[in-house]
A = this chain, B = another copy of it.
Amino acid sequence: MNASTESVILKLGGSAITDKGANEGVVKEADLLRIAREVSGFRGKMIVVHGAGSFGHTYAKKYGLDRTFDPEGAIVTHESVKKLASRVVDALNSFGVMAIAVHPMGCTVCRNGRIESMYLDSIKLMLEKGFVPVLHGDVVMDLELGACILSGDQIVPYLAKELGITRLGLGSAEDGVLDKDGKPVPELTPANFEEFRQCIGGSGSTDVTGGMLGKVLELLELSKNSSITSHIFNAGKADNIYRFLNGESIGTRISPDKRV
Contact = CB atoms under 8 A, between A and B. Distances in A.
Interface stretch (A53-61, A122-130, A179-187, A214-222): A122-130
B109 A106 contact: no
A147 interface: yes
A182 B107 CA distance: 43
A141 interface: yes
Nearest to A97: B75
A108 B125 CA distance: 11
Contacts of A99: 75
Contacts of A142: 125
A143 to B, nearest CB: 7
Contact of A119 (B78, B98, B119): B119
A142 B128 CA distance: 11
A75 B102 contact: no
Nearest to A78: B100
Contact of A103 (B93, B103, B143): B103
A125 B141 contact: yes
Contact of A129 (B100, B119, B141): B141
A202 interface: no
Interface in A65-101: 69, 71-72, 75, 78-79, 82, 86, 89, 93, 98-101
A122 B109 contact: yes
A-B pairs, 5 with minimum CB distance: A119-B119, A125-B141, A102-B106, A109-B121, A107-B107
30 contacts: A69-B129, A71-B98, A71-B129, A71-B131, A75-B98, A75-B99, A75-B100, A79-B86, A79-B89, A82-B86, A101-B106, A102-B105, A103-B103, A105-B122, A106-B106, A106-B107, A107-B119, A109-B122, A109-B125, A116-B121, A119-B119, A121-B141, A122-B141, A125-B141, A125-B142, A125-B143, A126-B141, A129-B141, A129-B146, A129-B147
Interface of A: 69, 71-72, 75, 78-79, 82, 86, 89, 93, 98-103, 105-109, 116-117, 119, 121-122, 125-126, 129-131, 140-143, 146-147
